[in-house]
């Protein structure tokens, strides 16, 4: 894992099934991924031999919306991460571009016309004891299991809000920047 002021790079293993009997060597392949049409980052594969059947491909995934798409991509990237951490599965579009396979410019150009849109796989997590209690309480947050329970107490002009969160990541720090409540 590596990061700069405007990017984050993570090495992942991607499982791909090659349904054909053909095999091929991939010296270098770079693709971009986007959310709602705004490029957020890239996926790079180096020196891999693709065989028939299941392949576990090491890939470098780089999240760098500012460098690849500017301020609109940053806003969309923040939205996408927020949805993902709220246990929703936003869709990412993966696409090649003309420089995706530098050693094969004609194939890169042909591949640049293809896009694949997939939901981001959810992170596995343990169920907690509060899940059923929260579901039966009638409280819902856009289908999310992030907020498990909430208690609100009013004391004169102050409000105490106690929440139990169950984020998809085991260790997660977050800051609530604003909170809007509405009584009915």
pLDDT for the residue 8: 86
pLDDT for the residue 34: 92
pLDDT for the residue 106: 92
Domain positions in the chain are: 2-119, 123-184
pLDDT for the residue 170: 53
Extract the tokens encoding 87.
């246990």
Classify residue 64 by burial, with Cβ atoms within 10 Å: 0-12, 13-18, 19+: buried
pLDDT for the residue 123: 65
> Quick check: 164 and 147 in contact, CB under 8 A?
yes
| Residue from 125, 165, 138 nearest 149 by CA | 165
pLDDT for the residue 129: 45
Least confident range from 11-25, 38-52, 119-133, 156-170: namely: 156-170
pLDDT for the residue 172: 52
Q: Provide the CATH number for the domain formed by 2-119 in this structure.
A: 2.60.40
Query: Mind listing the pLDDT tens digit for each residue in 68-124?
Result: 888 888 888 888 887 777 767 788 999 999 889 998 899 999 999 989 898 887 766
Query: Mind listing the pLDDT tens digit for each residue in 117-138?
Result: 988 877 665 554 444 444 444 4
Least confident range from 11-15, 28-32, 124-128: namely: 124-128
Per-residue pLDDT, averaged over 17-25, amounts to 91
Torsion of CA 120, 171, 175, 129, to 10 degrees: 90
């Amino acid at each position: 894992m590596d990061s700069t002021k405007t990017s984050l790079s993570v090495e992942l293993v991607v499982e791909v099934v090659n349904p054909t009997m053909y095999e091929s060597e991939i010296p270098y392949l770079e693709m971009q991924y986007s959310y709602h049409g705004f490029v957020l980052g890239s996926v790079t594969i180096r020196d891999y031999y693709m065989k028939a059947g299941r392949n576990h491909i090491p890939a470098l995934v780089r999240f760098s919306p500012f460098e690849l798409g500017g301020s609109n991509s940053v806003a969309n990237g923040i939205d996408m991460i927020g949805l993902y951490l709220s246990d929703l599965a936003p869709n990412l579009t993966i696409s090649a571009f003309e420089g995706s396979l530098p050693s094969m410019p004609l194939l890169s150009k042909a591949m640049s016309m293809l896009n694949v849109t997939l939901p981001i796989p959810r992170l596995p997590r343990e169920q907690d004891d509060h899940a059923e209690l929260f579901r039966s309480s009638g409280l819902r947050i856009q289908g999310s299991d992030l907020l498990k329970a909430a208690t609100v107490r009013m004391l004169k002009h102050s409000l105490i809000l106690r929440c139990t969160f169950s984020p998809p990541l085991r260790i997660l720090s977050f800051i609530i920047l604003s909170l809007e409540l509405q009584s009915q």
